[in-house]
Structure 1
């Protein structure tokens, strides 16, 4: 297996791992207010999330930043909860009417938090790589981006199917999906070891 395949697959599986569903929940909550015609906005947000994720990995790999894992493990479900609740309160408005700058900044910041949750493992993964650590990071980020686009496509397809065949409104789809996501992460917040 080539190094590219190794790091690309690690990024892909980092997101699609059934045991690491927090990443999937965040992408679902981020995507749910949008429909296929809004694909540029969704792609922008997902890419900003990947950039934020990668920024924190760079900072951790080069020992520029170190954050207690218990704090990060608490903040990750909080970011998911905030995103879901934001969408619940904005459910009557389409994704186009949102302040793109606010969403872009928030998504980038949340990406930094999520990246910190994986930074220790990634640091260990590239520790044996005597060369440049940026190339493996870019390969890993590409895997993350591809996995996130897969999730986005699934969410958009589900949204289309639910709205077309079950006659849900976009508002109802957002309320049901984001309520489910929020319900999943509340126990993660309450039972976190930070308390």
Structure 2
């Protein structure tokens, strides 16, 4: 796989000079992770954002009772980090795990700030990605408050059709806030309707 091709897919809509392209490329660091590897652990410092080139990752936290709660999945062309820790410059409250072998590009906070200052179109792209992320989180909160489990599952598979095949049932159930048994029941009911 030529990761440079995937990397510049993110920036293909931007009109960049060769100098700007090189400045951006110099700030991103390609990293390879194995399935099951933890990239960020609760309690760590977090000063990087990760752009997913290939693979599937999930953000989760573990409550006081030891139960895992999946917050986010990320696949190709998604950004992921412990956003709370990243933006507030505090310790991680989440863990990020690779659900498949994954390739990501990591960029440090200082490099983002430098690129935003030096390259206005990068600043615009970064801002629009963060705005999109905020909108996504707001929609998820509203869905969790106003939709039943079946509606949340239907919305998930409609919005993220390629992710379901990459995640285990208990990860998806955790993301939806239901048990694996409830997820199985919902799938069975939906297959009867088809």
What TM-score range do you get, normalising by the shorter chain? Answer: under 0.3
Structure with higher helix content: 1
